[in-house]
Amino acid sequence: MEKPSKQTLLEPRKKKSALKISLITLGVLVALGLIAFFVINAYINKSMAQLEGTLEVPGLKEEVVVLIDENGVPHIQAENEHDLYMAQGYIQAQERMVQMELSRRQASGTLSEVVGEKAVDTDKYFRTLGLRRAAEESYDLYSDEAKQVLTWFADGVNAYMDDAKEKNRLPVEFTLMGMEPETWTPLDSLTIGKYMAFDLGGHWERQAFNYYALNQLGKEKAYELFPSYPEHKPAIIDEGELEAASDRVDVEKSFATAIIPHAFNGSNNWVVAGDKTKSGKPLLADDPHLGLATPSVWYQMHLEADNVNVEGVIFAGVPGIILGHNEQIAWGVTNTGPDVQQLYIEKRNEANPNEFLFEDEWEKADVIDEPIQVKDGETIDYQVTETRHGPVISEFAEESGKDIVMSLRWTALDPTTELQAILEINKAKNWDEFEKGLEHFLAPAQNFVFASKDGTIAYKANGNIPIYENGDDALLPLPGWEKEQEWDGYIPFDALPLVKNPEKGFIATANNKVVGDEYPYHISNVWAQPYRYERIAEVLDDGDNFTSEDMMHLQMDQMNLQAREFVPLFEKTLKDADLTDNEKKAMDALKQWDFKDDATEEAPLIFHTWMNEIETVLYDEEIPDGMMELFTGSGQTTDQLLRKGDDAVWIRENGGLEKVLHTALENSLKQLIEEHGDTLAKWEWGDYHQVTFSHPLSEASSILAFFFNPEDPIPVGGSSVTPMAASYDTETGIVDHGASWRFVIDVKDMAKGYHIVGPGQSGHFKSKWYHDQTEDWVEGNYHVTDLKEKKGKELILY
C-alpha cells in the first residue's frame, strides 16, 4: 500500500485551519456589522423628537409646558404669544423638519440644489410661477402683529435646527441628501402657504386643453368636451386674427412637464343645525382631500396662551391653526374651485422679444433672473418673463411659439394675507368676528362652513374671485392685447355666496356647483361631479337626531351615486347585446350590487374599470396622453356624453352607445381576468384598490422604501365619487388622494374634537406615531383631542 505523502496528511489540518479562519472572519464581519448597526441605530435614534423632560430653547421668556398625548398631538401651554408661537415652531421642526425643508424648496424652486438634475424641470416651473416672489410681495401687507408671529415661529424652528446641528441629531434624511437645512425665515412660511394655493389652484390647464381641442379636434367635438356646453360658443380668437399654424401655441409641447395638481383637490364639509341633532347643538364635519403621503400634509396641534385656545391642524412650516375649533366656534373648508387662473395669449414683438402688444402699443415685460443651482452640475442661467398679466408659462420648458406665447394671471400671485386671517380666526368668538377675519383670506378661494356655541351655522365662499363679464370667457385663453379682456376686479366681499341658518337645517359642500343661475357673478365652469354632495345631502335631508358618530359614519360612507345612475342605463343599453358568459356574469354582479364601493365586493371593481375603459374607448385615439393630463374634470364630461348617448358626436363616431359600452366592457373583463383570474365571484375591489402612504424618499431605492414605507398597501373601500373619498392611480390601483384629515365636532362640548390624521403625526420612521393611524384611516377609527383634559408626556421648554 502506498504511503500517504506529507502533503496529503496536512490537507485535513489545512481544511480545519481554513475553516477556523473563515469562522473568525465571519465573526469579525458579524461583529463589525453589529457595531455598524448599533452605531447607525444610535445615530438615527438621536434624531427622534424629545417628548419629555426639559429642553433649553434660547429666546423664550417663560417656561412652556408641552403635553404630548397618546396620539402624538402636542398641547402647547404658554404664558404669552411670543413663547406660544416660538414653541410651535420648535415642536413642528422636531417632528417635521425634513418635510418643511422639502416643502419650501419645492415651492421656491430650489430642489435641484439637493436632488440634482432630475428636479430641474420642476424648479423651472415653480420659478416661472413665482410663488416665492408672490410671498415676498405679500409680506409687506401683513400687520405688525402677524409679522411678529411669523418671526417668533421662525425663531423656534431655528432654535431646533441650531441645537440639532450642534448635537449632530438632524434627521437621517438630511445625511442621505448630503445637506443641512438653512435658516428658516418668515418668507419660507408664506411661500409654503402660496404652495397650498397652487395645490388648490384654478383651471388654467383646462383652458389650455380647450384651446388645443378647438385647434385640433374641430368645433363640434371640442364643444362637447367643454365642462358645460357654452351658450355663445366662444372662439379662440376673433376670426382671422391668428390664422397661420405657426402663430398658434403648441400646447402639447409647451406644457409637457407642467406640474398639474390633482383634479378637484377638494373636500367634503357640512354643518347641521341643532334642531336636527340629538344634542340640540350644531354638528360640524370636515375632511379636506389632498395627496396621501408620509408625513401627512397636516400636523395636529393644540395652542394655548392667555388669549388664545385653539386646536386643529396646520401645514408643517406655518404658525397657527388653519382648520379646527376653539372654545366658542368650529370651522372647516372645501375648495370652491373658482376660475381664478386665466391664460392670456400674448403677441411678442419680433424686433424685441421682451415686448408684448397691448392696445396697439408694445409694452416692456419684466425679465427676472432666476439662476438654478444644480447639485453636481452647473448653475443654469434661467430667466422668467412676466407680462402685465403674469409669468409666461407656455415656454418654461422649451420654445413653443416664436411670436405667440401664453401668460398666466392668477389671484395667488397677487399679494395676499391668508396667515393674518388664520390668526384672527383662531381667536374669533362668533360669526361676525369669524367673517371679519375672512376679509384677509384671499387665495385660494374656499368654502368655509362654520358652527358656534350660540347655535349659528353658516357658509361662505370666500376669497378673491375675478369678475368676468361673460362666464364663457373663462373657458379659453383670452387675447392679451385687448383691454376689454382684463379682469374687472373681484366679486365684492359682501356679495360673495353666503348662507346663514337655512330652514332645511344643514349646509354641505363637496366641490359641487355652489350657486344657481340667479347669482349675478360667474364663479366657475368646472365643478366636481355632484355625487359626493348628493349623497351627503341625501343623508342629512332624510335624517334627524344626528350625533357625532353619525357624522363619522357619513365621512366613511361608500355609497356610489354615479353607479346608481349609470348601471341601469348600461343594463338597458346592453339588454339585447350578444354578451359572452363572463359579460353576463359581470352584468349580473352589477344588478345585484347595492352600489356601495365595499372593498370586499366584485361589483365596484367591474364598474370602475368599465368607466375608465369608456374614457379609453372615447378619447384614446384622438387625444394624446400629455393632453389627457390637462383634461382635468374629464369624468364630468364623460358622464354628460353618456347621458346624451347617440346624440353625442363622440359616442356616434365610436359606433354608438351600445358599441362603446360593449367594447369597454369587453376590454375591462379581459384586463381583469388577466390580473385577477377568471372566477368573477372571487374578485374584490380591495385586491386592486389599496392605500399606502409613501415617503418621498422611498422611491430612491428599495432599501429606503423598506424603512420609510413600513406597511404593505392595505385594501380600502370608497372611490373618487363616494363621500369616503379614495381616488386612485388607474394603472396601479393605489389610492393616492383622499381625506388627508377627518374632523367631527359637536358644539355642545366644544372642548372635544374627533380626528384622524393619516398616516400619523410623526415624520420620523422610528416613531410610534409614524404610521399608527393608517388602519384608523381605512376603518374610520377616530381619536379624541380635548382642550381641557390633557394627558400625556410632559416636556418643559425653558
**pLDDT digit string (tens) for 284-294?**
999 999 999 99
Q: Is 95 among the domain residues?
A: yes
Q: What is the CATH number of the domain that holds 144?
A: 1.10.439.10
Distance of CA 509 to CAs 297, 466, 529, Å?
22, 21, 12
DSSP 8-state class, residue 317: T
Percent helix, strand, coil in the chain, to 5, is 40, 20, 40
Residue 9: predicted pLDDT: 47
User: What residues contact 456, with CB distance under 8 A and at least 6 apart?
Assistant: 282, 430, 431, 450, 500, 501
Residue 313: predicted pLDDT: 98
Q: Is 396 exposed, middle or buried (0-12, 13-18, 19+ CB in 10 A)?
A: buried
How confident is the model over 290-329, as pLDDT tens digits? 999 999 999 999 999 999 999 999 999 999 999 999 999 9
Q: Is 381 among the domain residues?
A: no
Q: Is 722 among the domain residues?
A: no
Instruction: Concatenate the DSSP letters of all residues of 410-453 into one string.
Output: EGGGS---HHHHHHHHHH--SHHHHHHHHTT--SS-EEEEEEET
Instruction: Concatenate the DSSP letters of all residues of 687-702 into one string.
Output: HH-EE--B-TTGGG-H
636-641-644-649 Cα dihedral, nearest 10 degrees: 150
Q: Is 404 among the domain residues?
A: no
Number of domains in the chain: 2
What's the grid cell of residue 17?
A: 485551519
For residues 410 and 338, what is the distance between their CA atoms, to the nearest angstrom? 11
Q: What is the mean pLDDT of residues 734-761?
A: 97
Residue 257: predicted pLDDT: 61
Range of lowest pLDDT (62-76, 262-276, 696-710): 262-276
Q: Is 310 helix (H, G, I), strand (E, B) or coil?
A: strand
| Residue 35 confidence (pLDDT) above 80 | no
Distance of CA 662 to CAs 560, 618, 676, 684, Å?
22, 12, 20, 22
The 3-state secondary structure of 318-362 reads: CCCCCEEEECCEEEEEEECCCCCEEEEEEEECCCCCCEEEECCEE
User: What residues contact 484, with CB distance under 8 A and at least 6 apart?
Assistant: none
Q: Is 460 among the domain residues?
A: no
Average pLDDT over the chain reads 91
Last residue of a domain, one of 668, 683, 698: 683
Last residue of a domain, one of 636, 665, 683: 683
| Residue 532 confidence (pLDDT) above 80 | yes
Nearest alpha carbon to residue 538 among 515, 561, 556: 561
User: What residues contact 37, with CB distance under 8 A and at least 6 apart?
Assistant: none
Q: What is the mean pLDDT of residues 473-479?
A: 94
| Residue 503 confidence (pLDDT) above 90 | yes
Residue 469: predicted pLDDT: 87
What is the residue range of 169's domain? Answer: 57-199
Q: What is the CATH number of the domain that holds 618?
A: 1.10.1400.10
Helices (H) and strands (E) in the chain, counts: 25, 28
The model's confidence at residue 770, banded by pLDDT at 50, 70 and 90, is very high
Identify the helix (H) or strand (E) that includes residue 385.
Answer: strand 383-386
Residue 701: predicted pLDDT: 85
For residues 726 and 414, what is the distance between their CA atoms, to the nearest angstrom? 33
For residues 190 and 774, what is the distance between their CA atoms, to the nearest angstrom? 30
The model's confidence at residue 546, banded by pLDDT at 50, 70 and 90, is very high
> Taking a C-beta distance cutoff of 8 angstroms, is the pair 50, 31 a contact?
no
Percent of the chain topping pLDDT 90: 82
User: What residues contact 573, with CB distance under 8 A and at least 6 apart?
Assistant: 645, 657, 658, 661
| Residue 16 confidence (pLDDT) above 60 | no
Residue 699: predicted pLDDT: 84
In the β-sheet with 64-68, what is the strand arrangement from edge to edge? 53-55, 793-797, 64-68, 74-77, 298-305, 308-315, 323-326, 329-335, 446-452, 457-462, 498-500
Distance of CA 448 to CAs 310, 441, 470, 556, Å?
17, 11, 26, 21
For residues 255 and 397, what is the distance between their CA atoms, to the nearest angstrom? 7
Nearest alpha carbon to residue 472 among 229, 242, 205, 220: 229
Distance of CA 659 to CAs 39, 402, 644, 663, Å?
65, 44, 15, 6
Percent of the chain topping pLDDT 70: 89
- Count of CB atoms within 10 A of residue 360's CB? 7
Amino acid at 685: W
The model's confidence at residue 492, banded by pLDDT at 50, 70 and 90, is very high
| Residue 26 confidence (pLDDT) above 60 | no
Residue 517: predicted pLDDT: 85
The model's confidence at residue 395, banded by pLDDT at 50, 70 and 90, is confident
| Residue 189 confidence (pLDDT) above 80 | yes
Residues written for the chain:
798
Q: What is the pairing mode between strands 283-291 and 267-272?
A: antiparallel
For residues 99 and 286, what is the distance between their CA atoms, to the nearest angstrom? 24
For residues 158 and 174, what is the distance between their CA atoms, to the nearest angstrom? 16
> Taking a C-beta distance cutoff of 8 angstroms, is the pair 416, 198 a contact?
no
Last residue of a domain, one of 658, 683, 708: 683
What's the grid cell of residue 777?
A: 384611516
Q: Is 504 among the domain residues?
A: no
DSSP 8-state class, residue 559: B
pTM (two decimals): 0.92
How confident is the model over 627-638, as pLDDT tens digits? 998 998 899 999
Distance of CA 670 to CAs 64, 591, 658, 690, Å?
62, 20, 18, 21
Nearest alpha carbon to residue 642 among 664, 626, 627: 664
CA atoms 491, 288, 326, 750: torsion sign? positive
Amino acid at 289: H
Residue 400: predicted pLDDT: 44
Residue 388: predicted pLDDT: 98
> Taking a C-beta distance cutoff of 8 angstroms, is the pair 761, 72 a contact?
yes
Residue 238: predicted pLDDT: 41
DSSP 8-state class, residue 3: P
Q: Is 652 among the domain residues?
A: yes
What's the grid cell of residue 722?
A: 363616494
Which pairs count as long-range contacts for 562-569, CB under 8 Å and 24+ apart, including other chains? 562/529, 562/531, 562/611, 562/639, 562/721, 563/590, 563/593, 563/595, 563/603, 563/604, 563/607, 564/595, 566/611, 566/639, 566/642, 567/591, 567/593, 567/595, 567/607, 569/642
Q: Is 477 among the domain residues?
A: no
For residues 392 and 525, what is the distance between their CA atoms, to the nearest angstrom? 24
Q: Is 97 helix (H, G, I), strand (E, B) or coil?
A: helix
The model's confidence at residue 237, banded by pLDDT at 50, 70 and 90, is very low
For residues 364 and 361, what is the distance between their CA atoms, to the nearest angstrom? 10
The model's confidence at residue 25, banded by pLDDT at 50, 70 and 90, is low
| Residue 254 confidence (pLDDT) above 70 | no
